A and B are shown apart, each in its own frame.
Chain A
Amino acid sequence: MNWITVKGRLISQFSAEPAPGGNYLFKDVSGLYRAMVDPKAAANPSFEEFTKLGVVERSIPKGTYLPAFGVYPNGIFGKFETTTGKLNLYSPRWGVVRPATSNPNVPGGKDGFRNATAQYQPLHEGYETFFDNGNPLTGTFTGHTSPQSGRSYTLQYLTNKARHRAHTVFDNVAIIKDQFEQNVKINPIDAGKRRIKDGDMVYAYNDRGCTKIPAMVTNSVVPGVISIEHGAWYRAHPTETVTVWQQTKYNSTTGEYDFEAVTMPVDVGGAENVLTYDFGGTEQYTGQAVSAHGGYVEVSLTKPN
């Protein structure tokens, strides 16, 4: 048996689409409820009762087609009258905060309100950038070759939350810190290619910096991805250095900052901040300090130049 759960309070508060002028409308979604749950059956509450109950659970035969959103097989309700035919989640606050943009990296960027609609947004250095045509489904995996350093990157890093820290807070409390090793989690497939064994000291680096921490070979991360827990404190190695490329050289011709090679110490604290990129907070995406995103990285037993 499958189970269908209809969350009444949530559905009744969906806003479907922003209207011209910036206001947004609440759509009547009672039809959706009637399509899902037969109101004639004695055990079923009416839509009004259902919105008060909040949640109704019914068992349905396995394999039954559930017309959750979009076209219904009985043809009564059809599509929602929205741009996608589905319920579009829309935030009026973000419609104000995020101005309209012509940035091609922002989907639907020409319409100021589309930016505030919940949708997939490719990352600045996301998985798509590893493919020759930018499409993981049809393209060929090529990795990313940096024009500055000439290095080839085939891994992506994640900066997941640590269990023992609130961002960077508590990383100086030894009694807590000692219980969890700051390491780079790497899949056995990727570790085998690089001859990395569990517990080896490895360098995780990209064009922005390098951190030297132990490797944890684990199937908890998928191949192609490494994970460094977010929030460890930066600690500079006394002697080891790497070359990094920073946008610090002002170019008076273009009016922009050019990349410049700078020598920086290797970090031994496991601070993922040496790998992340900086970008504006409210212009395109949320967040700046929290690096809850991926990017190019390479892991090696030997130190990069």
Chain B
Amino acid sequence: MSKWGFYFNQDRCVGCKTCIVACKQWNETKRGDAKINQLTLEKYQVSLHATDAGSNYIDPVSGTNNYKEYRKYYMKEMWRKVDRSETGNITESFDHTFKSTVDVRHLSMGCNHCDKPACVDACPMGVPFKDATTGIVLWNNAECISCGRCKSACPWSTPQFYVDNYATYAQNDPNRPKMTKCTLCYERINEGLKPACVAACWNRALDAGPMNELIAQYPSASTALPEFTASSTGPNIIFKAKTAKTA
């Protein structure tokens, strides 16, 4: 069995989140509410007057932006996330010039397809499972009871539900959110393609493949990164950390 995983080059990532959008777009049919909130032409075509009146975009009482209707027909699950961390500060010297030590680092991460996946161990219904040939953690959520144990067991909350209050739905509710998660674009790599996030990354910060090939291709890559939460579950991801900024 080969072990598939990711490579992330922090030096190249600028936090554009193209990987997230590509992931959501490719996996549109796999989102949890794909059969519940279906986009039809009638729903899509909202008159300009209706949007200006605020019913779709602005809460008429509080005046805050209301995107509930707006985002209803897109994938809400964050299979891939990009975290931003900022260190350093800006100081003003006696001659009113500024000196900056600000350093911004990003971490783009999907599922790490662990050797010993915590979600598989935690699930009482056997929804997530490890693929025999690639080691990818796949899922079949027909039996999912929306207990959320997979999400809380995962160190990075990779298993996702399309709403946060998934546990409050009744078991016989047809709208009950069921677990979905990153599949490393299983159907794409079967065709010899890279996953959607890797293919879309215009700065080439991401790569995916069997781990032995990735390690051979990026010999300087490390399994640790300051921004990455280490875990004993054996995550299949390697990093090139961003070069430290010199003042």
A interface with B by C-beta (< 8 Å): 136, 163-164, 174-180, 187-188, 212, 218-220, 222-223, 235-240, 266, 268-269
Kindly list chain B residues whose C-beta atoms are within 8 Å of the C-beta of A220. 86, 102, 104
11 A–B contacts, CB within 8 A, in A order: A164-B16, A175-B21, A175-B74, A178-B71, A188-B89, A219-B102, A222-B100, A223-B92, A236-B54, A238-B54, A268-B65
Cross-chain contact of A218 among B17, B58, B63, B86 (Cβ < 8 A): B86
- Within 8 Å of chain A (Cβ to Cβ): is B137? no
Residue numbers in B under 8 Å from A237 (CB-CB): 58, 63
Contact assessment for B63 and A239 in the assembled complex, using a CB-CB cutoff below 8 Å: yes
Please tell me if the beta carbons of B58 and A238 are within 8 angstroms of each other in the complex. yes
Q: How far is the CB of A161 from chain B (nearest CB, A)?
A: 12
Number of A-B residue pairs having CB atoms within 8 Å of each other in the complex: 65
Q: Verify B89–A219 contact, CB threshold 8 A.
A: yes
Task: Report yes or no: B90 in contact with A176, Cβ–Cβ below 8 A.
Answer: no
A175 CA to B104 CA, complexed, in Å: 24
Contacting residues of chain B (56-75) with chain A, CB-CB under 8 angstroms: 57-58, 60, 63-65, 67, 70-71, 74-75
The contact of A219 among B20, B21, B70, B100, by CB within 8 Å, is B100
CB-CB contacts below 8 Å: B79-108 with A: 86, 88-90, 92, 96, 98, 100, 102, 104
Contact, CB under 8 Å: A175 / B24? yes
B contacts, CB < 8 Å to A: 14-17, 20-21, 24-25, 54, 57-58, 60, 63-65, 67, 70-71, 74-75, 86, 88-90, 92, 96, 98, 100, 102, 104
Q: In the complex the two chains form, is B88's CB within 8 Å of A179's CB?
A: no
| Minimum CB–CB distance for A303 against chain B, Å | 11
**B102 contacts A269, C-beta separation under 8 Å:** no
Q: How far is the CA of A261 from the CA of B21 in the complex (A)?
A: 44
A188 → B minimal CB distance (Å): 7
Give A136 to B96 CA distance when docked, in angstroms: 9
Contacts A175-B24, A188-B89, A238-B54; A164 near B104 (Cβ below 8 A): no
Inter-chain contact B58/A179, CB cutoff 8 Å: no
Hey, which chain B residues are within 8 Å of A239, CB to CB? Answer: 63
Closest to A188 in B: B89
B232 CB, nearest partner CB in chain A, Å: 31
Q: Which residues of B contact A136 (CB under 8 A)?
A: 96
A238, B57: Cα distance in complex, Å: 11
Contact with B90, one of A163, A164, A187, A238 (Cβ below 8 angstroms):
A187
Chain B contacts for A269, CB-based, 8 A: 65
